[in-house]
Structure 1
Amino acid sequence: MIKKMTISSIQKAKGKTPLVMITAYDALFASLFESSCDMILVGDSLNMSFAGKSDTLSATMEQMLYHTKAVCNGAKNSFIICDMPFGTYTNKSDALMNSIKVFQQTEADCVKIEGGTEKADIVKHLTSNGIAVCGHIGLLPQSVRSEGGYKVKGKTNAECLSLIADARAIEDAGAFCLVIEGVKADVAEEVASSVDIPVIGIGSGANVDGQVLVFSDMLGLFEEFTPKFVKKYVDGAKIVREAVDKYADEVKSKEFPQEIHTY
């Protein structure tokens, strides 16, 4: 049986063993990822990968609860993180109410909150009330409209100092780890070295404490676009199409089902 990661073991990995995080949105894929990954993120990225939306903003609390339950069912020995969707943590009371829903209705181990210094008081409120929190700084997908697109961070000294301040504020608020997205690699390395909690990168270089990718990106299943930081480990879309084409051909030619497939 796989030994499940804990907040303590995740924190102890900093500076020693790179942490592996991947997204999942259902029980099937979660079960396939469980043996290889330290943490599974039920990301609001499902709104784009599976709902066909242009961004994550319309993901709902109900969606996230549904998919988190499914992932927890499929990967019972994985450390599961539930993304808090846009609009569900704009103030302390809403953030706590919605996070309690996650903890009461699913087996998730923590929630993830986007934002730095401006969200530190909310993170502190959650951690003070028994909610484990993973932070998220740098490029914030939930801020894509207000920022006019997905913009790489850390290009100036001021941005570097701001990111370090964000990481320290989220750490001081009680978060046990944080994701850093879309940040220049040298700056992300500096941010990671400025805090004692693990910093998990996505599009932020190799010199942080771990990596996370959206599974449909790294498996080549999502074809609409591929971010620069994504490595496709397999052309999943091609493999699936070829398999379905073969199935369709065999049905039409009556090659399938054969006697071995018949009761």
Structure 2
Amino acid sequence: MPQNGDVSGPDQATAPLLRIRYRVRFGKTDLLRWISHRDLARLWERLLRRAGLVLSMTEGFHPKPRVGFPSALALGVESLDEVVEIELAEELSAQTLLERLEADQQPGLNIKSVTRLPEGMSKAQLNASDYTFSVVEDAQKSQIDAAIAKLLSQDSVSVERKKKTLTVKVAEQITKLELNGDVINLRLAASQAASLRPGDVLDLLGFGDWVDRGTLIRRISVELKQEHEGSAPSDLAQSQNWQTQINSFISHSGEQT
């Protein structure tokens, strides 16, 4: 029975906690491209805590923030479009969350947009990624074109993974590969089986030494299997600082975002 006229209802401790999911797109540039995916996840956890957010936590003896990435970026690859999904135990507009995240100036981590996701929406799954490779100075256009044509003409290729040799269907995963000025454009489709990495493609082209010679591998965009731009205007917030923040990182390649 309620005591002292208390009619507030069931104990708040038994009430279900809020679990509101947000999708954040961001850039991982400059020196941050040299941190591992695990360290990136830790960086995000620290960022969320410093922002004073009420995080939704996993259950069990060692609860952790509910933070997830649809794909891991290889070490040394710069990205202008990464995705992280976070769950909060408080209700915020997308704009408020964007402002809280942007208040923490983490060099190399640039917030692009925040979207509040509807209840019941499945977690982000990668559909495809677009990359560019900067061409080394002494590379010949004819040599690059020939290498691309040779690779695309093959039905399947073999790649090494932890002392294993995997066979990959070329046409199923490389949906675009072309020379465009001083960059090579690559589009890789996601696969349930063994997936090609951008570094694999350089090796298969015969340009595996380009990385040591200064070529920059950059992920330009990520396409998810289920995109969402918000059910209401307040569910989507786009950074006004994004283009300014990343211009210095894309000026030499001429890429547009």
* TM more than 0.5: no
Bigger Rg over Cα: 2
More helix by share: 1
TM band (smaller chain): under 0.3
Instruction: Give me the TM-score of the superposition, normalised by structure 2.
Output: 0.24
Quick check: which one's strand share is greater? 2
